[in-house]
Amino acid sequence: MPDSRAIGFIYPDHAAEDDYPLAERMLGDGTRLAVEHIYGTDLHAVEELLDLGSPERLTQGAQLLSRHQPSAVVWACTSGSFVYGWEGAREQVASLSEAAGGLPASSTSFAFVHAARALGLRRVAVAASYPDDVAKLFVEFLAAGGIDVVGMSSADIDTAAEVGRLSPEEVVELVAERNRGDADALLVPDTAMRTVALVEAMEQRLGKPVLTANQVTVWEGLRLTGAVRDVAGLGALFNGKVA
């Protein structure tokens, strides 16, 4: 029997998964954010990402999550979902839902689109940690979801492990340096980057909403279960207004 207070997240390898217990504490209402890991290469390269997000791996993740009895499951990986393209990512989520016994399912890539729509954003900039060729696939995914990307810059970091080792100061600078004045918001698409504790500081510095991968992934899980609400410290997305 699913636990209405539990949401399951399939997280690839290890990098910034501690953002989830932090977010759970910030929610502070008894919601459980259960994380289970699947493993593959952490290289930001198309073929490796297609393998990482394969039905076989996500089925394994769904099986691992079953002990938590979640009421929804989310593939907590941006690049391992948008690399499939819009329709491929839809099929990926449908397959994940089936593997999870019919539970509502989504992925971080769709979370970005849903979050941008929820805030009424139309023109965004992307501050990607990935190599340029992978980052461009995220831009294409956003465009398929009706989100206009007015600027994209990539930090050309090859692996998730390297991203996970960035200090808070390095994360804030990476994001701030890639801001665009003509963008309504800045999107930061890598669940390997620790950002949950930094969202509000980044929004205050830039004067606009900042959507980050782990932040929107948590929000998406709440959306799937009908439990989205105002939460202090998690940025404009969690207070329903532009920063």
Give residue-wise pLDDT tens across range 87-119: 999 999 999 999 999 999 999 999 999 999 999
Please give the CATH number for the structural domain made up of 6-110+214-233: 3.40.50.12500
Q: Which residue has the tokens 């890639």?
A: 178
Task: Please report the pLDDT score of residue 162 as a whole number.
Answer: 83
Computed over every residue of the chain, the mean pLDDT equals 93
Tell me the β-bridge partners of 106: 74
> Which strand ranges, in their side-by-side order, compose the sheet holding 123-128?
148-154, 123-128, 185-188, 210-212
pLDDT at 5 over 60: yes
Task: Please report the pLDDT score of residue 46 as a whole number.
Answer: 87
Task: Please report the pLDDT score of residue 156 as a whole number.
Answer: 78
Q: How far apart are CA 53 and CA 38, in angstroms?
A: 10
Task: Please report the pLDDT score of residue 240 as a whole number.
Answer: 66
**Torsion over CA of 226, 232, 233 and 236, rounded to 10 degrees?**
60
Task: Please report the pLDDT score of residue 130 as a whole number.
Answer: 86
Between CA 72 and CA 115, with CA 13 as vertex, the angle to 5 degrees is 45
- Give tens-digit pLDDT for 52-79: 999 999 999 999 999 999 999 999 999 9
Q: Which residue has the tokens 């079953």?
A: 66
pLDDT band for position 144 (50/70/90)?
Answer: very high
- Give tens-digit pLDDT for 180-220: 889 999 999 999 999 999 999 999 999 999 999 999 999 99
Structure-model confidence comparison of residues 214 and 132, the more confident one: 214
pLDDT at 242 over 60: no
% of the chain at pLDDT higher than 70: 98
Task: Please report the pLDDT score of residue 218 as a whole number.
Answer: 98
Tell me the β-bridge partners of 159: 43
Domain boundaries, the chain: 6-110+214-233, 114-212
CATH architecture of residue range(s) 114-212: 3-Layer(aba) Sandwich (3.40)
Residue type, 117: R
Domains 6-110+214-233 and 114-212 alike in fold: yes
pLDDT at 7 over 70: yes
Q: Residue 119 is encoded by which pair of tokens?
A: 């805030």
Average pLDDT of the residues in 128-133:
88
Task: Please report the pLDDT score of residue 241 as a whole number.
Answer: 53
Count the neighbouring beta carbons within 10 Å of the beta carbon of residue 138: 25
Residue type, 191: T
Q: How far apart are CA 178 and CA 51, in angstroms?
A: 30
Q: How far apart are CA 188 and CA 137, in angstroms?
A: 14
